[in-house]
Copies of this chain bind each other. A is one copy, B any other.
């Protein structure tokens, strides 16, 4: 791949929906949540290493998690870890990354990708990303991967796109009509039925010049704040600048700041076996299951003795023995200091319960 292709992996989220396994001091992306010996962050880096050398990969994270990143990715140099001193959503995060990359390489084209999703069809994914990088390096467009919806999920944003025609210059890159926020069920059903909508997976590809221009135009407050650091990025003075200026940014997502209003947005419809693992139920869908549709901790199944259980997800620490009977459609997650036993189809309530917990040690 050309030397000016970069990957920015966003690893600052708190993953509160995966409580009690995900904790504020160690959220989901830093966990081996699939039980396969690698954390989601490590899997994400390994996925992109198929495309670019390691020194083209940046991790953008909250300063709180910098040590976790260093531990899990010891092969990274210190300059590859960008630390946000505060949580202000994705727009300032991407602005910071773009200014840094511009200082490193003004011709950089880069991918913005979450660190806590899974992609089952890696080859297809890499192919799409390669196409997107090539296209974005040559065209002043904001690209996003669009996932073909398989159900009327109300947990995702949707992308309304123009189906490619025989005359399309590049039939794998489609014009986006608009970004749609998370719909209600009826709307989601209509979206899926129409065939004209894709899921917004939060995976973006653009040239550094294009995204900076878009920020300047559609989100000037964010742009101007980070522009003040011009000349400091990729120098020893960057850290102090970010420390004082980053927290002043509006708290705003890139979708709201740019994607919902910009006009030069294109999408690559992608069938890549994607899941954002946004809920326990979505993790359950991805895990191997026994003959009763139970997803038991995959590290050592023999430690879970289940009787008359169906469609139940059980995750416990290694070496813990579980004897369980008579659960249907439950989530059981055990950690050293917290235990969750909850109906899977009511998991949206878990977040509310956790919000009531006052003791930091459980959060």
Contacts and interface: CB of A to CB of B under 8 A. Distances in A.
Interface of A: 20, 305, 307, 316, 319-327, 330, 332, 334, 336-343, 346, 349-350, 353-354, 356-357, 359, 362
Number of identical protomers: 2
A321 B362 contact: yes
Contact of A339 (B334, B350, B356, B359): B334
A137 B338 CA distance: 55
Contact of A343 (B326, B330, B332, B353): B326
A336 B339 CA distance: 12
A344 to B, nearest CB: 10
Contacts of A340: 322-324
Given A307-B353, A326-B346, A319 B341 contact: no
Contacts of A321: 20, 337-339, 357, 359, 362
A21 B354 CA distance: 27
B337 A323 contact: no
B339 A339 contact: yes
A263 to B, nearest CB: 46
A323 B339 contact: yes
Contacts of A339: 316, 320-324, 332, 334, 339
A45 to B, nearest CB: 32
A326 B350 CA distance: 13
Contacts of A307: 349, 353
> Which 7 pairs show the lowest CB-CB distances between chains A and B?
A324-B341, A321-B338, A326-B343, A321-B362, A322-B339, A325-B342, A323-B340
